[in-house]
């Protein structure tokens, strides 16, 4: 496989985003765990981004490779 070659699943995902004009954005959460000097575990977490089931996408463009040139469709 060449560097930069996309898989069929990646291309299908791009097509779905282009067709539906929305994308799911997952939760982004940071979690830190540490043990104190007595061996007790402490955990802290913070939600950085709550995520969305459906985030609208304003504009999409699909790219198709034709040998060494590319065609962009919108």
Each residue's pLDDT tens digit, 5-53: 667 788 888 888 888 889 889 999 999 999 999 999 999 999 999 998 8
d(CA 2, CA 65): 13
Nearest to 20 by CA among 49, 53, 63, 51: 53
- What pTM, to 2 d.p., does this model score? 0.48
Whether 52 contacts 42, CB under 8 Å: no
Nearest to 6 by CA among 66, 68, 65: 65
């Amino acid at each position: 496989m060449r560097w930069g070659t996309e898989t069929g699943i990646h291309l299908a995902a791009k097509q779905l985003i282009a067709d539906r004009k929305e994308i799911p954005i997952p939760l982004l959460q940071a979690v830190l765990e540490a043990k104190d000097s007595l061996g007790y575990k402490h955990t802290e977490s913070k939600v950085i981004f709550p995520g969305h089931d459906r985030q609208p996408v304003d504009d999409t463009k699909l790219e198709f490779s034709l040998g060494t040139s590319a065609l962009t469709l919108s």
